[in-house]
């Protein structure tokens, strides 16, 4: 196999590794609610109390926090699942894209579970990946480990509300030992892989010449290689625990007990954790 063919194959392999498949998520409910306890982790009273609190937040600030619990994601990445809910359900107010999804995966009667926070574009500068990770690690997981699911979710929602309303006490957590997000490590690793890949392409095509369609007898890089490079270098890696996928737009829908979703523009910000 010629050198150019090996390079193209290597590029395709890298590209394939970086593409996440669409996560399996719950369908948008016919009746909209901000609390969707599909796993049955809350009592009726707990669900109604949390729903009323989140509706009040929506009415007073237009910020929307949508809580979703599921018994199983069938092995899907929870970051992607939370992101798909944000986009496909259209969480957030129209024009502001100020929605947040809190997704909890736990099957009653079993040990452990996962939780993720996905943040809309309009709040990414406020509810950062590091803060999302901190909220999950210190506010939610301690209660979730003790099977106090409502308490864990309520604590997370309370902190998220404080952040988006500008009431979160950043000073009290500055000394916390927040672990380096896995997404940052993955992003740096991919950067160096791509750097050396670009270097290989440059060396292989150091003889100057016109761009061509990828034939073997050429002096410049092929269009295929340039397209692959553009795709690879165009993506972004976010912080948090592995939420570095690209943005998207979802349509809103209305109905149910509050004003309705209307956002859904997400950039992949957020974090996740497990217990």
Instruction: Give residue 239's pLDDT band: very low, low, confident or very high (50, 70, 90).
Output: very low
146 compared with 238, residue with greater pLDDT: 146
Average pLDDT over residues 56-69: 96
Report whether pLDDT(235) > 50: no
Report whether pLDDT(259) > 70: no
If residue 39 lies in a helix (H) or strand (E), which one and from where to where?
Answer: none
Report whether pLDDT(140) > 50: yes
pTM (predicted TM-score):
0.65
Query: From the CB of residue 19, how many other CB atoms can be counted at a distance below 10 Å?
Result: 10
Report whether pLDDT(52) > 60: yes
Q: What pLDDT is recorded for position 113?
A: 97
Which pLDDT tens digit goes with each residue over 81-91? 999 999 999 99
Instruction: Give residue 147's pLDDT band: very low, low, confident or very high (50, 70, 90).
Output: very high
Question: Domains of the chain by range and CATH?
Answer: 35-172+261-274 (3.10.310.50)
Which pLDDT tens digit goes with each residue over 177-212? 445 555 556 666 777 787 777 777 777 776 555 545
Residues 6+ apart with CB under 8 A from 140: 115, 152, 153, 155, 156, 273
Separation of alpha carbons 189 and 33, rounded Å? 40
18: tokens are 């970086």
Q: What pLDDT is recorded for position 93?
A: 84
Q: Residue 88 to residues 22, 83, 85, 175, 201: CA-CA distances in angstroms?
A: 11, 8, 5, 37, 38
Instruction: Give residue 94's pLDDT band: very low, low, confident or very high (50, 70, 90).
Output: confident
Which pLDDT tens digit goes with each residue over 22-49? 557 888 888 889 999 999 999 999 999 9
Residue 183's Cβ-count burial label (10 Å; 0-12, 13-18, 19+) is buried
């Amino acid at each position: 196999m010629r050198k150019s063919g090996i390079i193209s194959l290597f590029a395709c392999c890298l590209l394939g590794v970086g593409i996440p498949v669409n996560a399996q998520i719950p369908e948008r409910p016919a009746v909209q609610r901000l609390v969707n306890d599909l796993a049955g982790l809350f009592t009726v009273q707990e669900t109604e109390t949390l729903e009323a609190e989140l509706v009040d937040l929506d009415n007073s600030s237009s910020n929307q926090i949508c809580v979703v619990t599921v018994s199983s994601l069938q092995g899907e990445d929870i970051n992607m699942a939370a992101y798909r809910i944000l986009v496909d359900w259209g969480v957030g107010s129209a024009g502001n894209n100020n929605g947040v999804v809190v997704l909890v995966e736990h099957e009653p009667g079993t040990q452990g579970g996962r939780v993720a926070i996905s943040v809309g574009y309009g709040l990414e500068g406020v509810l950062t990946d590091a803060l999302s990770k901190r909220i999950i690690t210190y506010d939610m997981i301690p209660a979730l480990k003790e099977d106090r699911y409502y308490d864990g979710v309520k604590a997370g929602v309370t902190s998220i509300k404080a952040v988006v309303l500008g009431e979160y006490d950043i000073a009290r957590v500055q000394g916390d030992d927040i672990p380096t997000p896995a997404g940052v490590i993955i992003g740096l690793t991919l950067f160096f892989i791509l750097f050396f890949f670009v270097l290989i392409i440059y060396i292989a095509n150091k003889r100057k010449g016109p761009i061509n369609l990828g034939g073997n007898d050429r002096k410049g890089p092929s269009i295929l290689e340039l397209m692959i490079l553009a795709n690879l270098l165009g993506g972004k890696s976010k912080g948090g625990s592995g939420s570095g996928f690209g943005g998207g737009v979802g349509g809103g829908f209305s109905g149910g007990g509050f004003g309705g979703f209307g956002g859904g523009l997400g950039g992949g910000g957020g974090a996740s954790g497990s217990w």
